Structure 1
Amino acid sequence: MIQPISPLREETNTRRILPILEFAAAHNSERSHDEQVMKNALQIFDQLSPLHGLSEDERFLLQAASLLHDIGWSQGGSAHHKSGQRLVFRDRSLPLGKKERSMISLLVRYHRKALPSLKHRRFAELKEKNREKVMVLASILRIADGLDRSHQSLVENIIVTISPRKVIIHCSSRKDGYAEYDYGMQRSDLFSRVFNREVVIEWSVAC
């Protein structure tokens, strides 16, 4: 179970998502992809709670990062994960505290390419417990993004099964998702390291 949070805090987090949605929409036209990645990420996060033990506050960080992960495309170039990190870190219109801003910006950076490293200044500046949270959340976001590689929102539902050696991520869809499967597996590198478990992705197509 996700650690409990007060109703007031939960309501505040829900309210803060609205301007984040607006900010994401202003920088990226593919809202359906952002929302699908968010859906994937939150389903995985919720079902992994026995392993990560994180709270609704960390769930909010993941939700926000999912919506913002591709905003860097608005700056052009191929390193959109780094451009996105800078946009989140520098913008003061987003309803985020200093620590939240730093962590979400890092999640945007680590949704693809290089894994978190102490060689990266912003990551190294975090307290150890927050670096661990970034590792967990980034590991989920990377897979969630991979599972919408074609930007067609193919994943309808995710069921996560946890065993001592494996985490099985079963995706239900109405269409084959070869690219989604391949990229989900490719993006599972950090997840396997964080949770010390093999990732297995299963894909089923409803008739």
Structure 2
Amino acid sequence: MSSNARPLRNDGSGGDVLPEPLSLEDLFHKYGIERSHADNVARNALELFEILAPVHGLGSEFQQLVEMAALVHDAGVATDFENHHRAGRDILLRHPPSELPERLWPVVAWTAFLHKKKVGMKKIEGLKGKAFGNMPEALQDVTLKVAALIRLADALDYSRMESRLGKVTFEARKVRFEIIGQGAEVDAERMYKKGDLWHLLYDTELEFKPQLLKS
């Protein structure tokens, strides 16, 4: 940890934590993160990052951030399954991935918080009253964009049946994805639901069409 690291408010309640970064491997071991799911979500996130780059506008310097956020998005599952988005946020505020620059530590934590439940404008506005609102506006913007990608990437592995992105078609203000795999129907439907944050941030609609594998 750098010598000038400052305490971070964890949930807006007034409590402060001093970050003690851990390596990615230590986070996996300490918090029992499901590696296969984490790897699938990271794969999906990186693919979505590349495909949707003309829309999301995140530079290539954020590619590692997207990958790291995907790998640790479920850090809180073993601690508190029902509220693992909150548990994951608090874990990652205490123990951010040491592989990332310090300024991006809170982005990973708040991405974990935002990956699970429905996201609407009211929720985003409510974040301003939490520690999220203390972040520079540019990092708040990056966090929401990264979270939008992680939500979609997570949804693509919802069935745990190795669904993959297939053919991608760009139209005027619409991107159509074919979803391939035995769990494609389930995962495509989940992607529609988890696309809520994306559609709040961008005026480019995402469409997901399942393509079941032939037996």
Look up the match of 2:206.
199
Supply the distance in 1 between the matched residues of 2:101 and 2:75 (Cα, whole angstroms).
20
Partner of 1:13: none
* 1:94-114, Cα deviation, whole Å (9 max, x unpaired): 333332110111111111115
Q: Distance in 1 between matches of 2:163 and 2:199?
A: 24
Moved beyond 6 Å, runs of 4+:
none
Q: Who is 2:9 aligned against?
A: none
**Unaligned 5+ runs, structure 2:** 1-21
Aligned-residue identity in percent: 24
Distance 1:26 1:158, change over 3 A: farther
Q: Is it true that 1:146 corresponds to 2:155 in the alignment?
A: yes
User: Is residue 85 of structure 2 the alignment partner of residue 81 of structure 1?
Assistant: yes
Q: Aligned letter for 1:164? A: A
Greater fraction of residues in helix: 1
Other structure's SS at 2:89 match: helix
Considering only aligned residues, what root-mean-square deviation do their CA atoms show, in Å? 2.2
2:23 counterpart of 1:19: yes
1:164 to 168, 172, 193: 172
Structure 2 counterpart SS, 1:196: coil
**TM-score normalised according to structure 2 size:** 0.78
Cα shift at 1:176: 4.2
Q: CA deviation at 1:145?
A: 0.6
Gaps of at least 5 residues in structure 1 are 1-17
Residues 101-144 of structure 1 show CA distances to partners (whole Å, capped at 9, x for unaligned) of 10111111111115362422222112222222112111111111
Number of equivalences: 188
For 2:115, the aligned partner's letter is H
Closer/same/farther in 2, CA of residues 93 and 188 from structure 1, 3 Å limit = closer
1:110 aligns to 2:114 (yes or no)? yes
Larger Rg, first or second structure (1 or 2) = 2
Alpha carbons 1:44, 1:160 under 8 Å: kept: no
User: Could you tell me which residue of structure 2 aligns to residue 134 of structure 1?
Assistant: 143
Letter in 1 for 2:138: K
Secondary structure in structure 1 of the residue aligned to 2:159: coil
TM-score by length of 1: 0.81
Q: Contact 2:115/2:151 (CA < 8 Å) preserved in 1? A: yes
SS for the counterpart of 2:45 is: helix
Q: Give the Cα–Cα distance (whole angstroms) in 2 for the partners of residues 118 and 176 of structure 1.
A: 34
Q: Is the 8 A contact 1:33 1:152 kept in 2?
A: no
